[in-house]
Amino acid sequence: MFLVVLNLGITFALFLWAPRAKIPTRPDGTTGHVWAHGTILEGLKALPRWWIVFSGSMFALAFLYLYLYPGFGNHKGSLGWTSHGQLQQEVAANDAKLAPLMERFRLYPVEKLAGDPDALAMGKVLFEDNCAACHQRSAKGNVALGAPDLADNDWLYGGSGSDITTSIHDGRSGVMPPWASLGADNVKNLAQYVLSLSGAPHDAAKAAAGQPMFATCAACHGAEGKGNPALGAPNLTDRIWLHGGSVADIEKTIGDGRQGHMPAWSPRLSDDQIHVIAAYVYQLSHPVNEPRQ
């Protein structure tokens, strides 16, 4: 409040004083200040009336603003305006516009809603606002974060509309335990066997040596390495890697383990918004001309 008074007070005082200030001038109307060896003289003219009127109106608006809106100490403003109140009004107005659309979206399961252009347009915006930080705007995922590609139809916890909705609503937490206790050589052999499951280039001798140890991994990934959506254990046979598919990446995954966390979005997003995002994500991994269920 002190700064507001000081700023307005000084500038208003200068505004009132400046037009009346007496500045000595010569008979020719100049002030005596010269440049370029006397070829340029400083003249003196009164401020134009439009400038004075315009500046005065700005001061009037400033005082009126401080009367109408909060900004002067504890004064709440005569209009009773608050930023929270305006936000609530705008959210309510937006919800009123969206209500008929959301009501229509609720009639369809995710798989069918994924063919609705209006739902996809809304889902894209919601996805970019909430999910793109980890999965990228393209939804191609991020190996550094362990965020899966959502456009390849390879799913850790299932790719049905219900599965995707649950992942968004409740979140997911995956843990790959570390197996460094097997020994460095065994970890290397096991990594080569994992590479062999997807037909990737590998050392056949090391892969054969690592095959017996895969029985420990089969409890989650299955005997054939096809994964288990109930546990979030990835398929190891499709050359799609959550944390990278190089030899070094796989050895690190086996030796050190991995932890992944998909936060629950139910505290932030409504069920209707989650339903729309699930439809958008479902559409990303299914061709447009594919029949919807």
CA distances (Å), 62 to each of 7, 8, 56, 190, in order?
11, 9, 10, 74
Helices 117-130 and 271-284, axial angle in degrees (round to 10): 100
The reply, when asked if residue 58 is annotated as ligand binding, is no
Segment (H or E) for 185:
helix 184-197
The reply, when asked if residue 1 is annotated as ligand binding, is no
Mode of pairing for the β-strands spanning 30-35 and 40-43: antiparallel
The reply, when asked if residue 134 is annotated as ligand binding, is yes
The reply, when asked if residue 135 is annotated as ligand binding, is yes
Q: How far apart are the first and last CA of the chain?
A: 63
The reply, when asked if residue 202 is annotated as ligand binding, is no
Whole-number Å distance between alpha carbons of 156 and 47: 74
The reply, when asked if residue 131 is annotated as ligand binding, is yes
The reply, when asked if residue 243 is annotated as ligand binding, is no
The reply, when asked if residue 220 is annotated as ligand binding, is yes
Query: Which residues are annotated as part of the binding site?
Result: 131, 134-135, 176, 217, 220-221, 262
Query: Which residues are annotated as part of the binding site for heme c?
Result: 131, 134-135, 176, 217, 220-221, 262
